[in-house]
């Protein structure tokens, strides 16, 4: 990739360092941030698009309607992890391959999860605001602060990110739980002292903190609704760096207002970018940020390099490596077959 270390790759000016490479292979590279709503600039290029590249942090929602307007489209690449901004069912039906850069920012996201768990449980954000405002209200700072040690922490999914989170939590002395459609090997469970649960419903009843690390697909959409949250311990926390649509926005807000949840932190919203009046911006005890966990400067170099690798295979007519495949030749494949289900979760996006 073509860039200077320390520069932003994952933005319009950075172009993922791809321009020289793409143009040397006989293609035009169009880069734009105008990709929201009807008649946006991105839509104007669909007629001629062969490959569409989008980052999950500020996604271009490749809906069925948009795929129908792209007769030459062969591949949708996620420059990052998580391809739910693509209507996977429409991609399957139209034989548009979908790929993503597996592993590129798994550690980046898992570090962000640990930061958010600590910031919620230790009441860091309100305490920082008190200090920044010139105050010294120790009682207010600690009235909502606890130790993480000894807490029961559960991960929804134990893939690359979920397992990395649990490895980082073990030294804190937490009691670790997880649920996943694919159970981990026994030696991994023993190494991390993990308690496996057959379902999310069973796991959340035992947890003080729940961290959501699964992909968004029809089976996980709105998983954390009022009913699921009601099964959680009163005063528990949720950290969600997976996808915003896994949680029902108003159900989270109401649970925080009632005190059933003690805190909610995450960097994922629906849609993205979130509208100014999104309830998560102003709900109590939130630790929300824009979608930044997987796009550190370190991560940008990795997902830019992975995007180039996918394009190299595409230009050469070679099969993209299995780890990067979500949809191939009209079927879920590779990581997609392991982690996703058929269907669409883009409804409601612009």
Does the active-site annotation cover 123? no
Does the active-site annotation cover 152? no
Does the active-site annotation cover 160? no
Does the active-site annotation cover 105? yes
Among the listed residues 272, 286, 300, 325, the single catalytic one is 272
Q: Where are the alpha helices (DSSP H) in the chain?
A: 19-24, 41-44, 64-68, 88-93, 106-121, 124-132, 138-142, 160-169, 186-192, 200-204, 226-230, 249-258, 297-316, 335-339
Among the listed residues 85, 177, 217, 243, the single catalytic one is 243
Query: What's the alpha-carbon Rg for the chain, to the nearest Å?
Result: 21
Contact 208, 236 (CB under 8 A): yes
Nearest to 53 by CA among 103, 2, 9: 9
Burial readout 284-297 (b: 16 or more C-beta within 10 A, e: otherwise): ebbbbbebebbbbe
Contact 344, 109 (CB under 8 A): no
Tally of helices (H runs) and strands (E runs) in the chain = 14, 12
Among the listed residues 160, 291, 302, 308, the single catalytic one is 291
Return phi, psi of residue 106, to 5°.
-60, -45
Helix (H) or strand (E) holding 136: none
Tallying the residues shown for the chain, one arrives at 350
Q: Which residues are catalytic?
A: 105, 243, 272, 291
């Amino acid at each position: 990739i073509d860039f200077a270390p320390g520069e932003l790759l994952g933005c319009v000016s950075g172009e993922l360092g791809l321009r020289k490479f793409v143009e040397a292979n006989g293609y035009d590279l169009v880069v734009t941030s105008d990709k929201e709503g009807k008649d946006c600039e991105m839509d104007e290029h669909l007629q001629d698009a062969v490959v569409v590249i989008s980052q999950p942090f500020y996604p271009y929602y490749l809906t069925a309607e948009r795929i129908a307007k792209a007769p030459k489209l062969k591949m949708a690449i996620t420059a990052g992890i998580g391809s739910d901004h693509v209507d996977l069912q429409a991609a399957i039906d139209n034989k548009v391959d979908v790929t993503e850069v597996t592993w590129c920012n798994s550690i980046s996201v898992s570090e962000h999860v640990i930061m958010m768990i600590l910031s919620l449980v230790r009441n860091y954000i309100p305490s920082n605001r008190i200090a920044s405002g010139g105050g010294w209200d120790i009682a207010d700072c600690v009235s909502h602060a606890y130790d993480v040690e000894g807490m029961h922490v559960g991960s929804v999914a134990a893939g690359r990110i979920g397992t990395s989170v649990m490895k980082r939590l073990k030294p804190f002395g937490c009691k670790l739980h997880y649920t996943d459609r694919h159970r981990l090997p026994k030696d991994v469970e023993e190494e991390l002292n993990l308690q496996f649960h057959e379902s999310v419903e069973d796991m959340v009843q035992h947890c003080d903190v729940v961290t959501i690390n699964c992909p968004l697909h029809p089976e996980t959409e709105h998983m954390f609704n009022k009913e699921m949250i009601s099964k959680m311990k009163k005063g528990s926390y949720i950290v969600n760096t997976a996808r915003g649509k896994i949680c029902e926005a108003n159900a989270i807000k109401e649970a925080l207002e009632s005190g059933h949840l003690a805190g909610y932190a995450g960097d994922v919203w629906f849609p993205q970018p979130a509208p100014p009046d999104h309830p998560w911006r102003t709900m109590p005890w939130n630790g929300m940020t824009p979608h930044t966990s997987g796009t550190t400067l370190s991560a940008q170099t990795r997902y830019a390099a992975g995007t180039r690798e996918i394009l190299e295979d595409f230009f050469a007519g070679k099969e993209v490596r299995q780890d990067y495949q979500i949809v191939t030749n009209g079927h879920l494949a590779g990581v997609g077959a392991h982690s996703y289900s058929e269907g669409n979760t883009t409804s409601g996006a612009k």
